[in-house]
Amino acid sequence: MNWTRESIAAMAASRGFDKLAPEHLDRWLALAQRQPSTLPLREAVERKQDEPAYGPRAFAPATVPPQESAAENYRGVFNNRLGFGRRPAVIAIDFVRSYTTPGAPFYAEGVVRAVAQTQVLFAQARRLGVPILHTRPIYHPSGRDGGLFVQKVPALRAMVRGEPLAEFDPAVAPLSDEIVFEKAYPSSFFGTALAPTLTAQGIDTVIIVGCSTSGCVRATAVDALQYGFRPIVARECVGDRHPGPHEAALFDIDAKYGDVENLATISIYLETVQSSATA
């Protein structure tokens, strides 16, 4: 008998199997074609009981284990807390108009929302005397100082001195006595004097706000940890272009590199730590 996919499907149905997947039909067909033509396929399959790929067990419904959540998978390994230190500072990352102006290359509604929440944090920090340090991306018109980063993200070439979109959003602009670091790469620490500036002031905790969550915020959190500062990301005060990368970055930071805290928790900490400092 010359077996075909159709005849095998019919035979399998007569034996009580549901509709077979194409790869299962191909396995049975290959098996039948290797056996003597006088040997029924039933016997050929039964002689292959020790080979699940060819025998009836190949067509049993697969048992799919329940998918564990990322939080469950990380629990017990990546769920430690760093906690707050004794002397905080706020690092405000790249709150420039390119992120908050509709139609601009980097515009993100998530950043607009973060700006609104950050105004509250700034007001409290300034009232309590907590230092606020700002960063913004600035490049030479040639873009050469941006190296491969500008090659990877060509829209950064527009971030040059004098470009309105490279200026700070007025709602969260630095005050005249607040330090601004200009940077060319994602981390606020890379190629800047941020780390020694914090160290000289005895800072041990950095409250991180700004954009974007999956880029410069994450990079700054990683470097803050590596420089020995406690990175605390204010959840409501960071933003990104899309919720997916935003939430993934927050999850990653909170699991491995710092603590992601609600603004309310950070507010209570700032009031408490500054009260203790002046007591």
CB 238 within 8 A of CB 123: no
Q: How far apart are CA 111 and CA 113, in angstroms?
A: 5
Place of tokens 């697969």: 62
What whole-number distance in Å separates Cα of residue 184 and Cα of residue 191? 8
Identify the active-site residue in 58, 216, 224, 233.
Answer: 216
Amino acid at 138: I
Whole-number Å distance between alpha carbons of 202 and 138: 28
- For residues 261 and 235, the answer to whether their CB atoms sit within 8 Å is yes
**Residue whose C-alpha is closest to residue 137's, from 178, 174, 187:** 187
Greatest Cα pair distance, the chain, in angstroms, is 97
216 a catalytic residue: yes
Under DSSP, the state recorded for 177 is: T
Q: How many CB atoms lie within 10 A of CB 220?
A: 29
Contacts for 229 with CB less than 8 Å, ≥ 6 apart: 198, 203, 204, 205, 206
Residue 183, SS3 per DSSP? strand
DSSP symbol at 96: B
Q: Which residues are catalytic?
A: 216
